[in-house]
Amino acid sequence: MIQPLASRFEGFYYDGQSARRSAAVVELTAEGVRLEASGEEPRLWRPDQLRLAIAAGEPTRLYRLTGPPGECLLVPDPTFAEALLQHLPQLHRPRTLLDRLPLTGWAAATCAVFLLAAVFSVTGFGLLAGIAARLTPLAIEERLGEGAADVLAPAARRCSDPDRERQLATIADRLSDAASSPYRFRVIYVRDPRVNAFAAPGGYIVVYDGLLRRAETAEEFAGVLAHEMEHVLHQHGTRALARELPGRTLVSLFSPETASSPGARQAGAALLNRQHRRSEEEEADRASVGLLARAKVETNGLARFLRRLQGSLGSPAHPYAGSHPGTVERVAALEAEGRRHSGAAEGLLAAGDWENARMVCGAR
C-alpha cells in the first residue's frame, strides 16, 4: 500500500512582475494546486498550466506557464515534489527528462545536448545552443559558472573587505530580489585596473575594481550589474559555451574537479575573450532597464556610464566600452527605454557611502 503524503505545504510565491516574495500556503487537491499567498485572493493552478522543476539541493519550483514570465512557487519541503506527483499524477511526466535525473544523469544528458549543440553550431544550426541552455538544470549551470569564475577571478586577485562588500551587496540584493529568479547571484570583485565586468553561467558575475572606480554613483554601478544579471537570466553565457567549446571540453566540465579542470580553464578563457552578440547586448539592455525599474532604482545609470566611456572606445584601459559594439546607439536606446518606465526611484547609497564601498579592493 502506498503511504499517502501530506497535501498541505508552506512555501513562497513570486508573481513574476515585481520583487515581492509572498509567504504562501499550498494545498494539493484533485483539481490542482490551491495557492493562498499572503495578501492575495486564493487561486487554483490547474495541472495543465504547470511545469515542475526539480534540482538536487534546491527547493522544488513550480511554474505557471500561462502567467507572467517568472511566476512561480518555491516549496522548501523535500517531500513536496513526490506529494505533488502522488496527488496529481497528470504531472508524472515533467517538462524534460533532465528534471527527473540525479546529478550524474543530468551531467550525461546535458553533455549529450551540448555536444549536439556544438555539432549543429558548426554546420550552421546555432539555434540548438539555445535549446541546450534551456534544458540545462540549474545545478549544472552553477557548476559551469563556478569553473569559469575561477578563471575569470583567480583567488589571488579577489578582493576581501567584508564591510565594503556588505555595502555593495545591498545593491546586488535589491536587484536580485527584483529579478524574482531561481538564480542565486554571486558577485566577485577582482583587483584589476581595467574597466570590465563578466557574467558567467549560474549567477556568477565578476567585476574589476577598475570599473567600480570609474562609476561615479551607486546607480551607475547598478546599471552595469543589472545588465550583467540579465546576461545570466537569458543564459547568454551558457549558450556561448554550447556554441563554441569542443565536445571533449564540454564533457570535462562535469567532472568532480570542475573548478580546476582544463575544461574549466578553457570555458573561462572563452568567456573572457568573447564578445556578446549584438542581439544579446540589446536583449540585456532592454531587460536591465525593466529590472532597475522593478527594483525602484534610477534607470539611466548604465547610459551615463557608457556615455562617459565613449571618448576612450577601444582603449585597453576600458574594454567594457570597447567590447560593447554600437555604444552611441546603445546609449540612445537605453535612454529611450528608460523613458518608457515611470515611477519614483529610491536611493541606493549616499555619495560618501559609495565612495567608500567602491574601494573594496583597497587603495592603489
| C-alpha span between 239 and 234 (Å, rounded) | 9
Among 91, 87, 90, 80, CA closest to 28: 87
| All three cell numbers of 117 | 549543440
The pLDDT value given to residue 123:
40
| C-alpha span between 120 and 117 (Å, rounded) | 5
**pLDDT tens for each residue of 183-234:** 889 999 999 999 999 898 889 999 999 999 999 999 999 999 999 999 998 8
| C-alpha span between 109 and 335 (Å, rounded) | 42
Residues 165/307/280/320 CA torsion (nearest 10 deg): -50
The pLDDT value given to residue 3:
57
Which strand (E) or helix (H) includes residue 189?
strand 186-190
Note the pTM of the prediction, 2 decimals.
0.63
DSSP letters spanning 125-167: -THHHHHHHHHS-HHHHHHHHHHHHHHHS-GGGB---HHHHHH
| C-alpha span between 143 and 15 (Å, rounded) | 28
Mean pLDDT of the chain: 76
The pLDDT value given to residue 159:
93
| C-alpha span between 338 and 326 (Å, rounded) | 18
Hey, where are the domains in the chain? 8-95, 138-357
The pLDDT value given to residue 187:
95
| C-alpha span between 283 and 336 (Å, rounded) | 14
**pLDDT tens for each residue of 142-159:** 777 887 787 778 888 999
Class of domain 8-95 (CATH, top level): mainly beta
| List of the chain residues with pLDDT < 70 | 1-4, 16-20, 54-58, 68-70, 90-137, 139-140, 241-276, 311-326, 364
The pLDDT value given to residue 125:
41
* 8 Å CB contact between 258 and 151: no
